[in-house]
Amino acid sequence: MTRRLSIPAFLSTFVLIVTCFISTAQAIDIKRVVSPGGIEAWLVQDTKIPLLAIKFAFKGGVETDPAGKEGLANLTSTLLDEGAGPHDSQEFQRRLADNSISISFTATVDGFYGGVETLVETQDEAFDLTRLALTEPRFDEEAVERMRRAVLTQIRRDQGDPDFIARRALYETAFPDHPYGKRARGTAESVGGITTDDLHAFVRERFAKDNLTVAVTGDISPEQLGPVLDRLFGALPENAKVQPPADTTPKGAGETILVPRPQAQSVVLMSEPGVKRDDPDWFPAYIMNYVLGGGSFSSRLMNEIREKRGLTYGVYSYLVPFQHAAMVMAGGSTANQNAGKMVELMKEEWRKMRDEGITQAELDDAKTFLTGSFPLQFTSSEAIADVLLQVQRDNLGIDYLDRRTALINSVTLDDVKRVAQRLLDPAALLTVVVGKPEGIEPTRTMDDVPS
């Protein structure tokens, strides 16, 4: 469909084009498209391959599950493509498979994400199935019980996974009275109690135009996309009913929690309060983290603990910027007899970073990596759409990709030192160790994480 003069202005698709340099050599055009019905999406048009990736998200994720119904968002995410409108589960899945359409839904912290990948030749079917999944999911008993069994199975399987156990122990300690401390999949009990009414209510209340974000990459013009947006999302209600949780600060400072497990290797996980994405210190913290443990073989943790001492296959740190809390975390695994040594070495790097900051060479290297590697992720339609979606969700502005390099390059040594002193305190780390570690003096032992 093209824009024609005979169509009243309010029915046409609005397009704004912003050119962003994602590297010195590469600019991409991001088009802000507003559909006749008022739905906004960011588009990167690419006609080289006849396919299309659409990514979208609704604000509010697993943390907004009602008390006692933990796991509702996750269970819903497994069921939207298990029958909708006139199609039962097998028919819906057959249409997806036969047309090579991939529809996915994921409930995570702070957001409920969806995605569609389709060839242009089958896009009409893809649009119809996606709309049905969002607006008319059936929640037939057979499908609900089948997916409930699958989720319960995953919950059980998680209980044998040392990495999962470490995360559970840490999150439950850091957020004892906040939904962030709850398990995204819910518990066997809460998932067992979710009813079809709960599922329908979730869809009714949570999918709406006012909490929707959309990003598209692929072989579609802005003028074609406008009506498609209305076709996909136009039937959603205007307003969502979501109660976001309160802002909070992670607890458990200085605690060392041991979860004994009969395994060959100890898994270590640590955390401290961090910075949210909108914090003015975000980029200094981002660079600090890169040098500390975010930069793989270029990082201090990897160099000290793996390269120099051979104590681990992997040790890393990362920032966790939730909407209502933030953490800086670090983790890794090592043979049980070396667990105490590894925790000490990690804390020592924490201390060194706080006391001394980073060197000019480290700052320069971090900047060239963090700016230079950015375009590497723009190599598939899905990945480009993911970036566009996240930039919108983080409210960074449509010119963000253009400004990003300058934001990173403006960080100074003093900025990094300031943020390191603000964030890092080895004595205040919350530490979790899962396994049969030697050299660890726990402040608390958890026999098991609750199922």
**Nearest residue (CB) to another protein, 124 versus 448:** 448
Q: Using the rule CB under 8 A, give the single segment among 199-207, 240-248, 278-286, 293-301 that binds another protein.
A: 293-301
Does 78 interact with another protein (rule: CB under 8 A)?
yes
d(CA 205, CA 208): 7
Q: Which of 125, 198, 365, 402 touches another protein (CB under 8 A)?
A: 365
Does 128 interact with another protein (rule: CB under 8 A)?
no
d(CA 155, CA 163): 14
Rg, C-alpha atoms of the chain: 24
Beta 430-435 vs 256-260: how paired, if at all? parallel
CB of 249 to another protein, least distance (A): 17
Hey, which residues between 175 and 214 contact another protein (CB under 8 A)?
Answer: 184
DSSP classification of residue 137: B
Q: Which of 207, 316, 350, 400 touches another protein (CB under 8 A)?
A: 316
Tell me the CB-side half-sphere exposure of residue 254, using CA atoms within 13 A: 1
CB neighbours of residue 30 within 10 Å: 25
Q: Which of 70, 81, 272, 349 touches another protein (CB under 8 A)?
A: 81
Q: Using the rule CB under 8 A, give the single segment among 162-170, 202-210, 240-248, 351-359 that binds another protein.
A: 162-170
CA distances for 91 relative to 78, 94, 99, 143, 430, angstroms: 16, 5, 12, 12, 49
Long-range contact pairs involving 356-359 (C-beta distance under 8 Å, separation at least 24) = 357/413, 357/416, 357/417, 357/420, 358/287, 358/288, 358/291, 358/413, 358/416, 358/417
Does 77 interact with another protein (rule: CB under 8 A)?
yes
CB of 14 to another protein, least distance (A): 26
d(CA 218, CA 388): 13
**Nearest residue (CB) to another protein, 13 versus 385:** 385
CB of 36 to another protein, least distance (A): 27
Tell me the CB-side half-sphere exposure of residue 197, using CA atoms within 13 A: 1
Does 89 interact with another protein (rule: CB under 8 A)?
yes
d(CA 80, CA 76): 6
3-state secondary structure of 221: coil
Does 421 interact with another protein (rule: CB under 8 A)?
no
Q: Using the rule CB under 8 A, give the single segment among 243-251, 314-322, 346-354, 418-426 that binds another protein.
A: 314-322
Does 426 interact with another protein (rule: CB under 8 A)?
no
Does 383 interact with another protein (rule: CB under 8 A)?
yes
Q: Which of 97, 192, 344, 356 touches another protein (CB under 8 A)?
A: 97
CB of 404 to another protein, least distance (A): 13
3-state secondary structure of 396: coil
Does 48 interact with another protein (rule: CB under 8 A)?
yes
Q: Using the rule CB under 8 A, give the single segment among 31-39, 90-98, 235-243, 421-429 that binds another protein.
A: 90-98
Does 444 interact with another protein (rule: CB under 8 A)?
no
CB 357 within 8 A of CB 417: yes
Hey, which residues between 129 and 148 contact another protein (CB under 8 A)?
Answer: 142, 146-147
CB 273 within 8 A of CB 353: no
d(CA 369, CA 147): 42
Does 264 interact with another protein (rule: CB under 8 A)?
yes
**Nearest residue (CB) to another protein, 239 versus 410:** 410
CB of 280 to another protein, least distance (A): 20
CB of 349 to another protein, least distance (A): 17
**Nearest residue (CB) to another protein, 13 versus 265:** 265
Does 168 interact with another protein (rule: CB under 8 A)?
no
CB of 408 to another protein, least distance (A): 11
d(CA 363, CA 287): 7
In the numeric block, the tokens 């084009």 are attached to 17
**Nearest residue (CB) to another protein, 86 versus 192:** 192
In single-letter form, the type of residue at position 219 comes to D
Does 121 interact with another protein (rule: CB under 8 A)?
yes
